Each structure stands twice: as structure tokens, then as C-alpha cells.
Structure 1
């Protein structure tokens, strides 16, 4: 039986230390061939797996395409919203930068085979998010504005709704986040990665 061809890896993590560490870890295994950082673009397109940080993966949108490299995210921060966004963008694998070398190796191997892989941290994030009530689109907009210091009147003006409606959304947010006040709600939302820039500004 002929030896299996090594999986070709293109590592493009934006954090220099993480990038260097991944190269050192994965280049030590004969089952992988890590492309040099200055490889010609033609070789990069021939990669089986591209390893990215979270933001770069989202910028690619639907990165794991038939005939192209499958995408593995190595993230320094694992939050439920980040993991879900990456999966929706087409990422096949998501692991924390704190994972062991053996787990990162396993993740690359699985993603190279075209299968999905989530580390335990990412899996817990997804499981926890499924157990919590989801925010509506309007609640997310209110949350984004409140997190930027807007009061109820300002939120109402920006969203073109009544102050009473804003108050109702805020109460719903406190309930869904399990918070007693706005400050606690902002902290919980930040920890869950729920606060995003509002497009109404």
C-alpha cells in the first residue's frame, strides 16, 4: 500500500507567536507539509487546510469550498457568538490556541479529511448558547446601542420606536441574560460575544 500523501497546510494566523507555534508543532509531523510563509499563490491554492485566526476566517466568508482548502480557526478567545459566526461562514474546524499540540494535530487531520472539528471549549460554548434564550434582531440592536452608552431616548430615536418599546426590549434583555441591571447585562453580553457594532450609527 503506497504511503499516504501529506496534507498540505497553509498557516496564516495574524498573531506572530501563535503562527510560529503552529508552524513548529505541525511541521514536526510527517503527515503534514507546511507551506513556507512566502509561498507563491499557486501553491497556497493547492493547500488542503488553511489555518486562520477568527477575524480572517470571517472575512473570507464560506472559506471551505469544494476543490479549495478547508478552514481551521485557531482562536485566542472562544465565545459562543464567535464560534457560531465562524461555522456559519463555512469554517470546518474551531479550536482554542490553548489546546494541546496533540489536539491541534487531530483538528488539522480531521479538517483535512473534510470533517468538522470543535475543541472542548468551542463545543461547550455552543452547548451553553443552545441552553440560553436567543436574542431577537431588535434586542441585539438595542443591546449594541446600550453598550455604547445610549440612553432609552437616544435608542428610541435611532431605532425610530417609542421609549416604552425600548424599555420593553431592555427588560427582555435583562431577563434573557439573567442580569439584574444594565451594567451586569453588558458584562454578560461581552463575555458571550454578543455585543456588535450597531449599523444605525
Structure 2
């Protein structure tokens, strides 16, 4: 069972997200919060597998809440709920260790896929969010893509296969199954990929995978 805490200052959004999550019998919403401070308190109390955080909330905004959760409850994966026009916030959240980024108005299937992925230790970026983050970070999509391709060209063929699946939100177990590898070998490949690309976590590696066009952005 994947245990989730949900935080958004709009009751209607919380109700919609809860309803989507509860269609999956393997997901349990433990508690809801209407502000960032309450979200942090709930995470510390319940120690859920995943916390879904709106960016703009009273008391403590979603990014500050995410940073505090990563410091105090590192086992809880953080997924940021965002809307178009909040690219600055998304870029900042990358440095705070968020594992997933979703659009509030996105496909409900992405929400369930994201929760499952981050609970299993993977990263998940909505394709539309990924494209906007890449554009925001680079300012020059073409040159950014060229740099990403040069970096990923340094990887072995197998590492590029692993990176493509990682960027698609696959967990280590799913990558192992897709490539007929043992999970320990996948972990070794992921560690090597992070080191060779010079990135800190799976989210940053996933973004490079998108930039290098190793994964179909429309999935």
C-alpha cells in the first residue's frame, strides 16, 4: 500500500486529486492539508511514502515545505503539483530534491503513474512539465539539446537505454524487467549515469534524457 499525504489550499483540488488516487486500491490518502506548515506536520506525524504539494499555499509555500520535508523526512518522496506559468518554482524545486512534477490539469493517469513511480524510488516528470522546465533552464533549447546529446554520447549503449527508461519514469525494478537485467545491475548503471552526467539525482538525469531526446516527450 502506497501511503499519501495531499496538500493544496483549494478544497476542490484536494477532492479531485483524492478521488483520482482512490481509484487505485493500492493507494491510501492518509491526510490532507490546506497549507504548507500543516503539510510538513502531517508528513512528520504519518511518515507517508509520498507527499503531493501545491506550489502556492499559505503559511508555508510548497517549495519551502518540500525543502523542510526532504531535510526532516527524507524517506518521503515529494511530488510538486503545478500550473502553467510557474516555471520559476519548478526550476527551484529541482534543487530541493523533489522527485516528481505534475500539472494539476494533466491526465489523471499521470497522477497515478507519478505516485507509483516516486514511491518506488523513481523520478517522474509530466512530459509537458519537462518541456517547459527544459526551455526555462536553457533559454536556448537547441544549444541545450546539443550539450545534452554530447553528454549522453559519453554513456555506453546500455547506459543510454537505462537513462531513456529512467526519464520515462520507470523504477529500477521496471528497468531491470524491460532490459532483462537484475536490479543490482540497474542500480550500478544508474549510479554510473549520475556520475558521468555530473547530475545529483534521477530528476536531473531525466531532464537530460529529455533534452537529448532519448525518450518520447509525449509518451
TM range (shorter): 0.5 to 0.7
2:101 alignment counterpart: 94
Q: 1:14 aligns with which of 9, 16, 35?
A: 9
- The higher radius of gyration belongs to 1
Moved >6 Å (runs of 4+): none
CA contact (8 A) 1:78 1:122 kept: no
SS at match of 1:51: strand
- For 1:22 and 1:10, locate their aligned partners in 2 and report how far apart those are by CA, in whole Å: 11
2:63 alignment counterpart: 58
2:182 alignment counterpart: none
Structure 1 unaligned blocks of 5 or more:
1-5, 134-201
SS at match of 2:101: strand
Alpha-carbon spacing, 1:78–1:27, altered in 2? closer, same or farther (3 Å)? farther
- For 1:102 and 1:83, locate their aligned partners in 2 and report how far apart those are by CA, in whole Å: 21
2:110 alignment counterpart: 103
Is the helix fraction higher in 1 or 2?
Answer: 2
Q: TM-score, normalised by structure 1?
A: 0.56
Alpha-carbon spacing, 1:27–1:84, altered in 2? closer, same or farther (3 Å)? same
Alpha-carbon spacing, 1:97–1:12, altered in 2? closer, same or farther (3 Å)? same
Corresponding residue pairs, total = 128
Q: TM-score, normalised by structure 2?
A: 0.52
Q: Cα offset for 1:8?
A: 0.3
2:24 alignment counterpart: 29
1:80 alignment counterpart: 87
Deviations 1:7-56 (A, max 9, x none): 10011122221111010110121111111438x95884320001110133
Backbone CA RMSD of aligned residues: 2.6
- For 1:49 and 1:76, locate their aligned partners in 2 and report how far apart those are by CA, in whole Å: 20
Of residues 94-103 and 64-73 in structure 1, the stretch that sits farther from structure 2 once superposed is: 64-73
Q: Cα offset for 1:67?
A: 4.6
CA contact (8 A) 2:91 2:137 kept: no
- For 1:128 and 1:42, locate their aligned partners in 2 and report how far apart those are by CA, in whole Å: 32
SS at match of 2:32: coil
Structure 2 unaligned blocks of 5 or more:
34-40, 141-219
Of residues 64-73 and 97-106 in structure 1, the stretch that sits farther from structure 2 once superposed is: 64-73
1:123 aligns with 2:133: no
SS at match of 2:16: helix
CA contact (8 A) 2:8 2:53 kept: yes
CA contact (8 A) 2:78 2:99 kept: yes
